Amino acid sequence: MGLRLAHKWAIASRLGPGGGGGTVEFPVVIVELFDEQSGITARGEAAPSSRYNEDVEGCLAFFAKVDAARLHFTDLESSRRYIDRIALGHPAAKGALDMAMLDGYGQMISQPVHKLFGLDFTNGAPLTSFSIGIDNPETIMEKVREASVYPCLKLKVGGPSDEANLSALRSVAPRVRLRLDANEAWGSKEEALTHLERLANDGFVEFIEQPMPASAPRSDWIWLKERSPIPLMADESYQTAADVSFCQECFHAVNVKLVKAGGITPAFEALQAARKSGLKTMLGCMIETSILISAAAHLAELTDFLDLDGNLLITNDPFSGVSCDRGFLAFPRNLPAFGLRVIPRPAT
């Protein structure tokens, strides 16, 4: 299905010449696994990203290779091994199946997914930021006004008017908690440092995600980490736990996403590995429905920051799951697994 955005969405890596561009629709794939014996329908979602060489066609081709008879809600280990062997790569598609398996198992034993990982979730405690895409300063002011209920914002930077956009944001929300995300915008360490020093004049930026491309040499990252006035968070540089030693050297924190890690299980491992290495952690998202957002929220206890707002940016979410009250997340009581409900639509 195509997720409709409330606002045109632009980030540094998708800007056109002159900083224009952006999009109003993102395609995702929702998978359902039906167990005849128990009557349980389990769901997962793939929000494929071209940044990680995935698209809807690739996800559908992967799903076409899956023999559902080899998947068992009661045997997550062997189901996961089977899914992994189907093909290399495909983290978003594999993640959708990992999610659906956990949804099925959670429903079967009537437990929330966080309990399956030995974690707690305190309703109303975890706080997500709300993201503001790249735009012109006037529109930024409008978006920040609309987002006035959120105590924490994330501003996308790496466009032609970052400082003006930051000033515009501060003119509306002088004290809001603020994070920045450059999405690999700056090509050299010197260019990145110049931008970071200017943006640091704000005085209250918590961290910046991915100022340089993930392909930048390790020595450039170490150079930048030593000098940056703002803590550096790896996003595109941290896909799975395998990237942890690089990120420990080059960053202060990491952003884990279900879609790039390959589901809840590898995201759990990526968060644990990062914490063991002394890195701060965040759970982030793509433009997603409440399936992926709710699934990620179950791992909130393993994070220092949350950026789970993908479902808040769309206008046609088919599900409700984790709720967001002025940025604070809560699950509905007494619902197993992800805590999802299908939102009834009027017949057309």
CB of 45 to Mg ion, least distance (A): 19
Region near Mg ion per CB under 5 A, out of 17-25, 86-94, 116-124, 228-236: 228-236
Residue 181 makes contact with Mg ion by CB under 5 A: yes
CA distance 208 to 14: 18
Minimum CB distance to Mg ion, residue 154 (Å): 8
By CB under 5 A, which span of 52-60, 76-84, 175-183, 222-230 interacts with Mg ion? Answer: 175-183
Kindly state the smallest distance separating residue 301's Cβ from Mg ion, in Å.
Answer: 21
* 162 is an interface residue for Mg ion by CB under 5 A: no
Instruction: Work out how close the CB of 23 gets to Mg ion at its nearest, in angstroms, rounded to a whole number.
Output: 16
CB count within 10 Å of CB 321 equals 24
Q: Which stretch binds Mg ion (CB under 5 A): 105-113, 184-192, 234-242, 326-334?
A: 234-242
Residues 64-103 that bind Mg ion (CB under 5 A): none
Q: How far is the CB of 8 from Mg ion (least distance, A)?
A: 18
Burial of 96 from C-beta contacts in 10 A (0-12 / 13-18 / 19+): buried
Cα(16)–Cα(188) distance, rounded to whole angstroms?
A: 20
In the bound state with Mg ion, the residue whose beta carbon lies nearer, of 42 and 180, is: 180
Total residues interacting with Mg ion, rule: CB under 5 A? 3
Within 10 Å of residue 306's Cβ, how many Cβ atoms? 22
| Min separation Cβ 239 and Mg ion, Å | 12
Considering the complex, what minimum distance in angstroms separates the CB of residue 162 from Mg ion? 15
Nearer to Mg ion, 79 or 255 (CB): 255
| Options 113-121, 153-161, 176-184, 197-205: segment touching Mg ion (CB under 5 A) | 176-184
Three-class secondary structure assignment of the chain: CEEEEEEEECCHHHECHHHCECEEEEECEEEEEEECCCCEEEEEEECCCHHHCCCHHHHHHHHHCCCHHHCCCCCHHHHHHHHHHHCCCCHHHHHHHHHHHHHHHHHHCCCEHHHHCCCCCCCCCCEECEEECCCCHHHHHHHHHHCCCCCEEEEECCCCCHHHHHHHHHHHCCCCEEEEECCCCCCCHHHHHHHHHHHHHHCCEEEEECCCCCCCCHHHHHHHHHHCCCCEEECCCCCCHHHHHHHHHHCCEEEECHHHHCCHHHHHHHHHHHHHCCCEEEECCCCCCHHHHHHHHCCHHHCCEECCCHHHCECCCCEECCEEECCEEECCCCCCECCCEECCCCCC
Enter the tokens of residue 288: 């997603």
Shortest reach from residue 21's CB to Mg ion, in Å: 17
Instruction: Give whichever of 31 and 283 is closer to Mg ion, judged by the CB atom.
Output: 283
Is there binding between residue 235 and Mg ion (CB under 5 A)? yes
Stretch that binds Mg ion, among 102-110, 151-159, 165-173, 208-216 (CB under 5 A): 208-216
Nearer to Mg ion, 40 or 282 (CB): 282
C-beta of 58 vs 133, nearer to Mg ion: 133
Task: Kindly identify the residues of this chain, within the stretch 31-70, that bind Mg ion according to CB under 5 A.
Answer: none
Say whether residue 309 binds Mg ion (CB under 5 A).
Answer: no
The answer to whether 307 contacts Mg ion (rule: CB under 5 A) is no
Shortest Cβ 182–Mg ion spacing (Å): 8
Q: Which residue is nearest to Mg ion (CB)?
A: 235
In the numeric block, the tokens 């501003």 are attached to 155
For Mg ion, give the closer residue by CB, 209 or 309.
Answer: 209
Surface-to-core class of residue 145, CB atoms within 10 Å of its CB (0-12 exposed, 13-18 middle, 19+ buried): exposed
Q: Toward Mg ion, which CB reaches closer, 235 or 288? A: 235
Does 209 interact with Mg ion (rule: CB under 5 A)?
yes
Which is nearer to Mg ion, 234 or 273 (by Cβ)?
Answer: 234
Q: Which residue ranges make up the site for Mg ion (CB under 5 A)?
A: 181, 209, 235
